[in-house]
Amino acid sequence: MSNDRHDEGRRRFMTGLGALGLGAAAGGLGVLAAGATGAEAAAVEIPEGSWPYKPLDPMKARKLGHWGYYQSSCSFGVFNSIVTCLRDEVGFPYTVIPTRMMTYGEGGVAGWCSLCGALNGACAAINLACDKEKALCDELLKWYVQHPFPSKLSNDLAANHQFLVDKYKSDKVLPQSQTGSPLCHVTVTRWCKEHGYASGSKERSERCARISADVAAKTVELLNDYHAGKFASANDYTDTTKQCRACHKKGKDFDAGQWTRGKMDCGGCHIDGKIKVVGADHYPPS
Amino acid sequence: MSNDRHDEGRRRFMTGLGALGLGAAAGGLGVLAAGATGAEAAAVEIPEGSWPYKPLDPMKARKLGHWGYYQSSCSFGVFNSIVTCLRDEVGFPYTVIPTRMMTYGEGGVAGWCSLCGALNGACAAINLACDKEKALCDELLKWYVQHPFPSKLSNDLAANHQFLVDKYKSDKVLPQSQTGSPLCHVTVTRWCKEHGYASGSKERSERCARISADVAAKTVELLNDYHAGKFASANDYTDTTKQCRACHKKGKDFDAGQWTRGKMDCGGCHIDGKIKVVGADHYPPS
């Protein structure tokens, strides 16, 4: 990349963030520290294992999560938020990570609506800063599936225009739903149907921006706790999941039902009376 | 990190790979280029946007994908495979990416069995090397959900001990299933139930190692095509998905059914007669 292109990118980025009062604090779609190039850069030593950590500010992560959603959606929003906080507190090596690398997670991977992009971005950031990434990711997902979103705090910040974007898609206090699942498809559908919003509505977008804020802040809290030696699981799997997993879990006994695996809420898809079965008269559509 | 620790990590890694005839070619859990540290490293300039590309070898990616599965499971396996190929062909800036950052994707994120980890690792690598990441990720998922796995090629390589690990969990020619879904839970359960293997069986692990190989190779083919100006979608969404999406897609009209979104196969969960509904007599388990 030429210096011109780099300077242009940096300028464009700084311009956007200058208006938000963040100065150099927030990361962008690229990584912008300038200096060593060529042979020096090629020989950079990146620490093995999880990277250094300093306590981060959950409110800063929350605001950057919301801001990042409006730059390049949920997955980038959360990943960029946490990596930016880490850059500001720790600096290198977080400065070498191009936060745009997680944009693919939008809409549960390119709109497939599998894993919630906010969770995907959060877990990738956890993995950089923690060597017990699976314990923290597990806790994050347990919390996510069983709490109402958007949180009251993010609702209040949005309604009072305390987030960092100039224009909200909506500044309403939005209704809450439990996501019930780490899957984008399930969380979006549940919220939209319960509250009468279309999936392409401004309110649904703003709901996901606030969830990006909530997930970024929670992730920082988990990382802070972990590095302070205070991490302990405060959430559990759903009752349905625990009951089903009495038999149906990863294991070696096929006949005992161990032909499956997973921790998602089984009742979301499998339990009679709860499943949204579509009748033959509805399919194919007329 | 001290030089001692670095050297130790490098030595340990090289020892493991030396036996495989790969020399310095394959990446490890850390990033191992040695040289600039401190102020120089902190000032490294990382290119904005997608990174430089050179054509990669799908067979090398396939073998490294299988190898990486046995180091740290599916998501790391595929991500490490592709980034290693990129390091070997392009070098910097891929040398600064710690491939261990994707280990969280194992088992659909810490065993939750959401997004298949092989896909998660592949998409993250695509995002580094391509600025049309969503088009390529979309194509990868379309291919993944509708083809039988493990592929004949990976089955043959395994049965003939042509992969890079010393000991396979199984060298059987494994039976194939369509995954039917980008979700770990669905693909594992379908394969296990269809073929009588437990989810914790050696054969299921080896099946996922071969899928990691298949996904790494396919991803490299997609990236090669894209950078040669030859990328075109060769796969489509499932018929069910297309029919349902006639109404049920992301959009602004709630009353028309646009209260949901997604591209996963709707029939996997929603269509009467296909859903694995569990009767009340089965729940809760006795």
- Tens-digit pLDDT profile for residues B82-136: 999 999 999 999 999 999 999 999 999 999 999 999 999 999 999 999 999 999 9
What's the confidence (pLDDT) of residue B56?
98
Chain A positions touching B146 (Cβ under 8 A) are: none
Residue B286 and residue B152 share a domain: no
Q: Find chain B residues with C-beta within 8 A of A144's C-beta.
A: none
Whether residues A141 and B105 touch (CB distance < 8 A) is answered with no
Q: Tell me the chain A residues in contact with residue B254 when contact means C-beta distances shorter than 8 Å.
A: 192, 196-198, 201
Is B212 found in the same domain as B86? Answer: yes
Task: Report strand pairing: B177-178 vs B148-149.
Answer: antiparallel
Residues B163, B281, single domain; the answer is no
pLDDT tens digits for range B25-50: 333 333 333 345 556 666 678 888 99
Task: Determine, yes or no, domain membership for B75.
Answer: yes
B156 and B274 in a single domain? The answer is: no
CB pairs A-B closer than 8 Å: 364
Do A205 and A274 sit in the same domain of this protein? no
Q: Which residues of A touch B119 (CB under 8 A)?
A: 109
CA distance B161 to chain A (A): 25
Residue A109, in any domain of the structure: yes
Contact A124/B106, CB-based, under 8 Å?
A: no
Answer left, alpha or beta for residue A134, where phi above 0 means left and psi between -120 and 50 means alpha: alpha
Interface of B with A in 27-86 (CB under 8 A): 29-37, 40-49, 51
pLDDT at A34 > cutoff 50:
no
The string of pLDDT tens digits covering residues A158-196 is 999 999 998 889 999 999 999 999 999 999 999 999 999
Instruction: Please report whether residue B233 resides in a domain.
Output: no
Do the chains contact at A36 and B37, CB–CB below 8 Å? Answer: no
Q: How far off is chain B from A67, nearest CA to CA, in Å? A: 19
Q: How far is CA B24 from CA A158, A191, A208, B28, B32, in A?
A: 51, 50, 43, 10, 10
- pLDDT value at residue A282: 52
Write the pLDDT tens digit of every residue in A114-157. 999 999 999 999 999 999 999 999 999 999 999 999 999 999 99
- Candidates B1, B48, B76, B132, partner chain A, best to mutate (most A CBs within 10 A): B48
**Whether B118 contacts B127, CB under 8 Å:** no
pLDDT at B42: 62
Spell out which residues of chain B touch residue A33, defining contact as CB-CB under 8 Å.
42-46
The verdict on A21 touching B (C-beta cutoff 8 Å) is no
Look at A262 and B48 and tell me if their CB atoms are within 8 Å: no
Residues β-bridged to residue B149: B177
Which of B3, B100, B104, B239 to mutate to test binding with chain A, by most A CBs within 10 Å of its CB?
A: B104
Same domain for A177 and A273, yes or no, is no
Domain assignment present for B265: yes
Predicted pLDDT at A36:
52
Q: Given a cut of 90, is residue B237 above it in pLDDT?
A: yes
Nearest by CB to A35, which of B45, B47, B247?
Answer: B45
pLDDT bracket for residue B251 (50, 70, 90): very high
% helix, strand, coil for chain B, step of 5: 55, 5, 45
Which pTM was predicted? 0.87
Q: Domain count of chain A?
A: 2
Residue A2 lies in a domain: no
Report residue A4's pLDDT band, with 50, 70 and 90 as the boundaries.
very low
The predicted pLDDT at position A167 comes to 85
Confidence of residue B154 (pLDDT cuts 50, 70, 90): very high
A250, β-bridge pairs: none
From A28-32, A101-105, B137-141, the region with the lowest mean pLDDT: A28-32
Question: Would you tell me which residues 149-178 of chain B have a C-beta closer than 8 angstroms to some C-beta of chain A?
Answer: none
Are A192 and B252 in contact by the 8 Å Cβ rule? The answer is no
Specify the pLDDT at position B12: 33
Measured between beta carbons, which residues in chain A are less than 8 angstroms from residue B105?
Answer: 123
Going by the DSSP 8-state scheme, the letter that residue A177 receives in this structure is: E
Q: A22-36, A44-58, B17-31 — which one is most confidently predicted on average? A: A44-58
The DSSP secondary-structure symbol of A46 reads P
Given an 8 Å threshold on Cβ–Cβ distance, is A258 in contact with B198?
A: yes
Whether residue A98 sits in one domain with residue A196: yes
Q: Return the number of other C-beta atoms located less than 10 Å from residue B89's C-beta.
A: 15
Q: pLDDT, tens digit, for every residue of B68-80?
A: 999 999 999 999 9
Q: Is the confidence at residue B236, as pLDDT, over 70? A: yes
In this complex, the residue of B37, B107, B284 whose CB is nearest that of residue A261 is B107
Element at B149 (helix H, strand E) = strand B148-149
From B221, B218, B208, B176, select the one nearest B108 (Cα to Cα).
B208
Residue A207's domain comprises 12-34+48-227
Q: Is residue A259 in a domain?
A: yes
Q: Are residues B158 and B261 in the same domain?
A: no
Same domain? A98 vs A201: yes
Q: How far apart, in whole angstroms, are the C-alpha atoms of residue B233 and residue B163?
A: 29
Mean pLDDT of chain A: 84
What pLDDT does residue A121 have? Answer: 98
In this predicted complex, what is the ipTM? 0.86
- Most B CBs within 10 A among A11, A278, A286, hence the mutation to make, goes to A278
- Tell me the nearest-neighbour CA distance from B243 into chain A, angstroms: 6
A96 Cβ under 8 Å from any chain B Cβ: yes
From residue A50, give the alpha-carbon distance in Å to each of A16, A24, A46, A264: 31, 25, 10, 27
pLDDT, tens only, A209-254: 999 999 999 999 999 999 999 999 999 998 888 988 999 999 999 9
Q: Max Cα separation, chain A?
A: 66
Residue A183, beta-bridge partner list: A115
- Considering CB atoms only, which of A40, A113, A258 is closest to B36? A40
Q: Would you say residue A6 lies in a domain?
A: no
Residue B239 within any structural domain of the chain = no
Residue B195, pLDDT > 50, answer yes
Query: Residue A175, preceding bond cis, omega within 30 degrees?
Result: no
- Judged against a pLDDT cut of 90, whether residue A18 lies above it is answered with no
| Alpha carbon distance B248, A227 (integer Å) | 44
Greatest Cα-to-Cα distance within chain B, rounded to the nearest angstrom: 66
H helices of B107-233, in order, are 117-129, 133-146, 152-159, 184-195, 202-227
Cα distances (Å, whole numbers) of residue A78 to A17, A163, B154: 17, 14, 36
Q: Which of A15, A61, A16 is nearest to A165 (CA)?
A: A16
| Whether residue A30 has pLDDT greater than 50 | no
H helix intervals, A90-170: 117-129, 133-146, 152-159
Mean pLDDT over A25-34 rounds to 37
User: Where does the pLDDT of residue B285 fall: very low under 50, low under 70, confident under 90, or very high at 90 and above?
Assistant: very low
- A263 shares its domain with A163: no
Same domain, B53 and B194: yes
Which residues in chain A have their CB less than 8 angstroms from residue B183's CB?
114, 183
| B250 and A CB contact within 8 Å | yes
Q: Do A127 and B101 touch (CB under 8 A)?
A: yes
Q: Are residues A222 and A242 in the same domain?
A: no
